[in-house]
Amino acid sequence: MDILFVADPLASFKIYKDSTFVMMREAQRRGHAIWACETQDLSWRSGGVVQAPMQHIVLQEGAEPWFRVQNSAVRALHSLGAVVMRKDPPFDSEFFYATHLLERAEVEGARVFNKPAALRDHPEKLALMEFAQYASPTLVTRSAQDVRDFHAEHQDIILKPLDGMGGMGIFRVRADGLNLGGIIETLNRDGAQSLMVQKYIPAIAQGDKRVLVIGGQAVPFALARIPQGGEVRGNLAAGGKGVAQPLSARDQAIAADLGPQLAARGLLLVGLDVIGDCLTEVNVTSPTCFREIMDQTGFDVAAMFIDALEQALS
């Protein structure tokens, strides 16, 4: 089967930790042909179909570069066995437009994972609203006064932009309210931009857990991303230390509830972020942490993903 990965530039991959790389490696091991393109390559023309110039690559781990281009071609997306959307956030206008092109490709017969409409319907931070029973107190607003009132109520809070990734733009404000006004101005831009505010969860000291859910089923290990050096952020991109650990009973309960619901909407792969007992985000665009869990536990997350992909296509 030919599998197209719509991803960031291949040259930017850090294969020692890249989840898309291990997906590709497992697919190739099973005899599937790996094709790659970027979202900017997608196009449609009246009277035609959604297509892209793409590269057929062969992975060669241990060599430099890590892939070899077998050949290149302009192909209709519906001509491939599967299309795996792995473009990293942010979910900006171009990402949004790409989901519409991919949705048109679906109409033409392409099989796209995660489903483009589901990507649009589940923005990573706002998707939490549907599952508020698992979340800590949370506010989404443009109002600076609402933020101040939320801080007065909860004393210790986290503020973050709705379009951030990798811990970017996350601030903690304690009971003294130090710099709250400046942080609001930075994130809120005088009421022009919405932000999310959450009650601080002390359990972040034990890590911000990434719980992977594949085909509605939880991977049995989470990656706890533990803040380092006085940081409040556990994100690996912000210097957090990743420690794989078995799912807690609470992790399992959250995944068991959300997993089947999200899978039924066309979300083959979801990354749930859990701090302590609280769900903080629902990641659907390009969830990561495969490699860290695989390396530390021996559990083959990539094989579980390709199993689920093959099953979804059967």
Which of 188, 210, 251, 292 is labelled catalytic? 210
Our answer to whether residue 38 is catalytic in this structure is: no
Sequence-separated (6 or more) residues with CB below 8 Å from residue 273:
208, 209, 210, 211, 279, 280, 281, 282, 283
Q: Do 224 and 194 fall into the same domain?
A: no
Q: Do 19 and 81 fall into the same domain?
A: yes
Q: For residue 131, is it within any domain?
A: no
Q: Which residues span the domain enclosing 269?
A: 203-313
The CATH number of whichever domain residue 274 belongs to comes to 3.30.470.20
Rounded mean pLDDT, 114-123? 96
Our answer to whether residue 209 is catalytic in this structure is: no
The CATH number of whichever domain residue 166 belongs to comes to 3.30.1490.20
Which of 86, 87, 115, 125 is labelled catalytic? 125
Which of 86, 87, 111, 160 is labelled catalytic? 160
Are 53 and 73 spatial neighbours (Cβ–Cβ below 8 Å)? Answer: yes
- Lowest-confidence region among 29-33, 118-122, 187-191: 187-191
**pLDDT at position 237:** 67
Q: Domain boundary residue among 200, 222, 240?
A: 200
Q: Do 209 and 195 fall into the same domain?
A: no
Which pLDDT band, with edges at 50, 70 and 90, does 305 fall under?
very high
Q: Do 210 and 275 fall into the same domain?
A: yes
Our answer to whether residue 265 is catalytic in this structure is: no
Our answer to whether residue 120 is catalytic in this structure is: no
Our answer to whether residue 30 is catalytic in this structure is: no
**pLDDT at position 248:** 97
**pLDDT at position 229:** 67
Mean pLDDT across the chain: 94
The CATH number of whichever domain residue 29 belongs to comes to 3.40.50.20
Which of 18, 106, 208, 273 is labelled catalytic? 273
Nearest to 111 by CA among 81, 143, 155, 68: 81
In the predicted structure, residue 233 carries a pLDDT above the cut 80: no
Q: Do 111 and 62 fall into the same domain?
A: yes
Rounded mean pLDDT, 131-137? 96
pLDDT digits (tens, 9 = 90+) for 66-116: 999 999 999 999 999 999 999 998 788 999 999 999 999 999 999 999 999
Which of 225, 235, 291, 292 is labelled catalytic? 225
In this structure, which amino acid lies at residue 221? Answer: F
DSSP E strands: which ranges in the chain? 2-6, 33-37, 51-59, 67-76, 82-85, 112-113, 138-141, 157-161, 171-173, 195-199, 208-214, 217-218, 221-226, 241-246, 269-275, 278-283
Which pLDDT band, with edges at 50, 70 and 90, does 62 fall under?
confident
Q: Could you report how far apart the first and last alpha carbons of the chain are, in Å?
A: 12
In the predicted structure, residue 168 carries a pLDDT above the cut 90: no
Our answer to whether residue 283 is catalytic in this structure is: yes
Domains contained in the chain, number: 3
pLDDT digits (tens, 9 = 90+) for 24-56: 999 999 999 999 999 999 999 999 999 999 999
Which of 86, 281, 291, 292 is labelled catalytic? 281
Q: How far from 137 is each of 132, 151, 201, 233, CA to CA, in Å?
A: 8, 11, 10, 18
DSSP string over 109-138: T--EES-HHHHHH--TTGGGGGGGGGSPSE
Which of 26, 283, 291, 292 is labelled catalytic? 283
Percent of the chain having pLDDT more than 70?
96
Q: For residue 94, is it within any domain?
A: yes
In the predicted structure, residue 151 carries a pLDDT above the cut 70: yes
pLDDT digits (tens, 9 = 90+) for 253-294: 999 999 999 999 999 999 999 999 999 999 999 999 999 999
Rounded mean pLDDT, 114-131? 94
Which of 233, 235, 251, 292 is labelled catalytic? 233
Q: Do 112 and 40 fall into the same domain?
A: yes
Rounded mean pLDDT, 157-185? 90
Our answer to whether residue 273 is catalytic in this structure is: yes
Q: Do 92 and 195 fall into the same domain?
A: no
Our answer to whether residue 210 is catalytic in this structure is: yes
Q: For residue 247, is it within any domain?
A: yes
